[in-house]
Amino acid sequence: MKNRASFIIYFLIILLFLSFTVLGALAASEQFKGKIFNPGVLKPILTKTHLKKGMKAPDFSLPSISGEKVSLSQFRGKKNVVISFVPAAWTPVCSDQWPGYNIAKSLFEKNNAILLGITVDNIPTLYAWTKEMGDLWFPVLSDFYPHGAVAKKYGILRTDGVSERALFVIDKKGIIRYIDVHDINSRPNLEMLIKELEKLEK
């Protein structure tokens, strides 16, 4: 009975977060109205990553919009890491997805996780875009030069020059525990991501 009550409470919390995420996304869409480029419906997935669960995640070091370089290895032994690759700044789905993670910040913290956002855009573009969206709590990194080098390492650089929309969950030992190379036209499921993070802390 106690377990059932706990499950119901947990389920309601997730529903609440998802509701806020949807509302946040709608607000972001309204805020960006007339300012973002809509590429239309794209081919959902163009590449197939060579990486698999259980493999060591490729290390990288990229510049962030804060001016500092951020490396995957700096979180080794300290934090679980979620890498969120999105295709391009100033586009509708990307402009909805990342602000949604602001609302879920406490769930990342609860599961001892850091989120790293990566696109192939340059720093000035990312700086202007994120300022328009409002401050994000996680590092935003530029995979601009060499163009898409990190996306290529992860096997998700599309033939059109942008990355796939993808999530990689990496544990504190640097091992990949979850991969979602997602339909580029839609946002990944936040509830599924949080469930995968919770597995790492059990």
C-alpha distances out from residue 172 to 27, 80, 128, Å: 34, 5, 32
Contact 145, 112 (CB under 8 A): no
pTM summary value? 0.85
Give the whole-angstrom CA distance, residue 172 versus residue 197.
11
Q: Which domains does the chain have, with CATH numbers?
A: 2-200 (3.40.30.10)
Q: What is the mean pLDDT of the chain?
A: 88
**Residue closest to 14 by CA, chosen among 197, 139, 165:** 197
Catalytic positions = 94
Question: What pLDDT does residue 134 have?
Answer: 84
Could you report the per-residue pLDDT of 134-173, keeping only the tens digit for each? 889 999 999 999 999 999 999 999 999 999 999 999 999 9
Q: Which of 36-45, 82-91, 117-126 is least confident?
A: 36-45
